[in-house]
Amino acid sequence: MTKEAADAPAPQQGPSLEEATESRVVLVTGMSGGGKSVAMHALEDAGFFCVDNLPADLLLDFLKLEQQRGERRVAIAVDVRSAGSLPLLIPLIKQLRTDGVSIRSIFLDANTEALMRRFSETRRPHPLRQDSFAQTKESNKASGSNDDAHRALLEAIALERELLAALRVESTVLDTSQLRPAQLRAWVRDLVVVKGNSLTLVFESFAFKHGVPSDADFVFDVRVLPNPYYDRELRPLTGRDAPVADYLKAQPEVEVMLTQISDFLSRWLPSFAADQRSYLTVAIGCTGGQHRSVYLVETLTERFGHHGQVLKRHRELDAK
């Protein structure tokens, strides 16, 4: 080795792939019409570099390229349009996680009724029935019926659920059926600021009359508890207001319910964490999603604050 070579500074090496992507890579996937565009816009506003519909077989090369460019945060949207490469995606995600790369995969889901309504409102064809869309449209004109289009859309949604089922299992699921765009943007932002690889515990209040959240891992029905709604002074308030909280604290059944839910979660949370679960949603439901479920979510969030990563949501209240 020459003296010049010995004295030359060592070449600068970029951070490893693990370092470059730690808590900075978000994969956005899910059902067509589930809200991926809204989620990606939220991530872009939050400072992420966003890439739409990246084929799975290019993901690793893309992340390596990002490592060389720097440590900017990256959000990648993958959907059924890349159906040919989807089987490669799940093994790749698992391998990257095994290698220490933190990738948060968010799966945006919605019930079939909500998806049907959204496609009807936007008048956009489902990606899995694009080839037959023009033919179906002409057929509808001739017959004066929308039955064929309705049936074709239902079949496309069912096929998409089947194609994405395995990816859904590997992801953090958000049920967007009842969410407004502003809610979805806020919930996505909450997810991406969670740090580390520990299990994230989410408490969510909801109204049974609007349906059970499909992303819930556990559902507790608190409609059996005394209802502040029947008190005229408490009716316009919520479970976050002191008078409602004081009313519910005075009911022995409420503390029994809280204690039993707390004991159940305390017993099983370590097992879920040991099973490498990254996300656990506990949904608390009452009739209107305003008083009892809200109070229990607020209280449980406080009680489990020591757990580490704890989020709270109020599906009905947040929509107002």
Mean pLDDT of 172-201: 84
11 confidence band (pLDDT: 50, 70, 90): very low
pLDDT tens-digit map of 287-300: 999 999 999 999 99
* Contacts of 54 by beta carbon, 8 Å cutoff, 6+ apart: 62, 76, 77, 78, 82
pLDDT tens-digit map of 119-162: 888 778 888 875 444 444 444 444 445 677 788 888 899 999 99
Mean pLDDT of 12-30: 56
Distance CA 74, CA 68 (A): 13
Helix, strand, or coil (residue 205): strand
Helix axes 147-169, 130-143, angle to 10 degrees: 160
Regarding beta strands 309-314 and 49-52, do their DSSP bridges make them parallel or antiparallel, or are they unpaired? unpaired
Q: Is the dihedral of CA 34, 37, 42, 44 positive or negative?
A: positive
pLDDT at 23: 47
CATH for the 17-115+156-192 domain, from 3.40.50.261, 3.40.50.720, 3.40.50.300, 3.30.540.10: 3.40.50.300
Mean pLDDT of 195-219: 88
pLDDT at 45: 86
Per the model's pLDDT, the better-predicted residue between 139 and 91 turns out to be 91
56 confidence band (pLDDT: 50, 70, 90): confident
Distance CA 94, CA 102 (A): 10
What is the reported pTM?
0.70
pLDDT at 197: 56
Contact status, residue 60 vs residue 88, Cβ threshold 8 Å? no
Q: Is 125 exposed, middle or buried (0-12, 13-18, 19+ CB in 10 A)?
A: buried
What is the residue whose two structure tokens read 């089922």? Answer: 165
Per the model's pLDDT, the better-predicted residue between 152 and 314 turns out to be 314
pLDDT at 84: 67
* Contacts of 192 by beta carbon, 8 Å cutoff, 6+ apart: 26, 43, 46, 48, 73, 104
Which residues are registered as beta bridge partners of 28? 77, 106
Contact status, residue 163 vs residue 83, Cβ threshold 8 Å? yes
Please give the C-alpha separations between residue 182 and each of 18, 128, 163, 186, in angstroms, as whole numbers. Answer: 32, 28, 29, 6
Which residues in the chain are classed under CATH 3.40.50.300? 17-115+156-192
Q: Which element (helix H / strand E) includes 202? A: strand 200-207
What is the residue whose two structure tokens read 């995606």? Answer: 89
pLDDT tens-digit map of 241-282: 999 999 999 999 999 999 999 999 999 998 888 776 778 999
**Of 17, 14, 28, 2, which is closest to residue 64 (Cα–Cα)?**
17
pLDDT at 8: 40
